[in-house]
Amino acid sequence: MVIKRPARTVMLLVFLLVVVTGLSVTVIWSHAAQSSEDPVVFTINDEPVTAEEFRFFLQQNKALTVSDFKRKYRADYHADFWTSSYQGQNPLDYAKQKTIEDLKKIKIEQMLMKRYGIIEDSSFVSFLKQLEAENKDRQQNIRNKQPIYGLQKYGAEPFYSYLHSMNYQALIDDLVKKNKAALTDAELKPLYDEIKSDDFHLGYSFDYEIISAESPRPLEQLRDQLLSRPGSVQESIVPLGFSKDIAVRRDTLDMDTKSKDDDGAQELQEIFMTMQPGEFTGILRDHNGPMMLRLLETEDKGYVPYEQARTSLVQLYMERQLEQLVEDQLRQATMEIDEEVLKRISFSN
């Protein structure tokens, strides 16, 4: 049985078809127009990097490129700098290649952030929306006389750096949380032994003498006497006839008891680190007059015990694991570059 539709119904269907078709064409054209305005420069593992994002990172490599060409080729910046060639190397191509390398790493890191649920969207459009929202919130807080931390208004470059760093740290924290219970001493102790000298050393304490006099001459004679015949200062003062001219007191320098802002203590530690017990500094001066210091003993305070360092080791271990994972992903990544789009990009567009 053939069902005949009334003429009015047929006409309505035709009208709807035209409307829907027109809508489809409009949507497709609009998407194409948007793509042409911000075309994809390259993809890495199918993750796109658009021209707008590429230019953003290219701009950050501008000063670095000028500096590198000045250092390598003694090339001064001028109006035709970006189109010139120096020993076969073009500055713009150099900056673009550096930008590609920077973005490859960032995109791999962002893919891992998405995989572990740290972020949902790694597009540059999403970043710009976050930047706008952040600055709106800050301006609102300023108007409401509420405290804000950091800048009153973020520029794009510092906010991108801040946001990426925060997300990267969140990724590390997530990996630590998920893996810390499974990490064994067999994995962590080798790391402890490798880095303990730099990361877990407790420092040194120094016993020393402060020897002062009214003029440098007695100090110089005393120093020469003690260097030729080691002994105590008190024993050496008497034969030289300086019992009334030289004062001696003993002190200890331990940076754990000093403020981090104590520049004098920091400078003194640096001096003692270059000395052996029994050695003297040169003639110094303070508000009381000339003096010199003699290092008596250096005590190595050892290392933070492994058990106390374990929490920090887990963090460092996972940081290294993440770095290795990023390197592995970079080696295995597939890239497609649109050379025509890349060619059209410069610092002037």
The string of DSSP letters for 122-163 reads --HHHHHHHHHHHHHHHHHHHHTT----S-SS--HHHHHHHH
Q: Are residues 57 and 89 in the same domain?
A: yes
Q: Is the pLDDT of residue 243 over 50?
A: yes
How far apart (Å, rounded) are the C-alpha atoms in residues 77 and 81?
6
Tens digit of pLDDT for each residue in 166-177?
Answer: 999 999 999 999
Q: Are residues 177 and 260 in the same domain?
A: no
Q: Are residues 253 and 330 in the same domain?
A: no
Tell me what pLDDT residue 245 has. 81
Higher pLDDT among residues 300 and 244, named by residue: 300
Tell me what pLDDT residue 150 has. 87
* 3 state SS of 240: helix
Give the alpha-carbon dihedral of 284, 287, 293, 296, to 10 degrees. -160
Q: Report residue 130's pLDDT band, with 50, 70 and 90 as the boundaries.
A: very high
Q: Are residues 258 and 333 in the same domain?
A: no
Is 172 part of a structural domain of the chain?
A: yes
Q: Report residue 137's pLDDT band, with 50, 70 and 90 as the boundaries.
A: very high
Nearest CA among 204, 214, 217, 219 for reference residue 294: 219
Q: Report residue 29's pLDDT band, with 50, 70 and 90 as the boundaries.
A: very low
Q: Are residues 119 and 142 in the same domain?
A: yes
Global pTM reads 0.75
State what percent of residues in the chain have pLDDT above 90: 77
Domain interval for residue 240: 202-300
Tell me what pLDDT residue 189 has. 98
Q: Are residues 277 and 338 in the same domain?
A: no
The mean pLDDT value for 263-280 works out to 95
In angstroms, the Cα distances linking 323 to 150, 176, 191, 219 are: 28, 14, 15, 56
In angstroms, the Cα distances linking 50 to 86, 103, 342, 345 are: 29, 11, 10, 11
How far apart (Å, rounded) are the C-alpha atoms in residues 147 and 45?
42
Q: Report residue 36's pLDDT band, with 50, 70 and 90 as the boundaries.
A: low
Tell me what pLDDT residue 227 has. 87
Q: Are residues 99 and 219 in the same domain?
A: no
Tens digit of pLDDT for each residue in 174-201?
Answer: 999 999 999 999 999 999 999 999 999 9
Q: Are residues 55 and 156 in the same domain?
A: yes
Q: Are residues 291 and 315 in the same domain?
A: no
Q: How many domains does the chain have?
A: 2
* 3 state SS of 313: helix
The mean pLDDT value for 86-92 works out to 97
Tens digit of pLDDT for each residue in 307-340?
Answer: 999 999 999 999 999 999 999 999 999 999 999 9
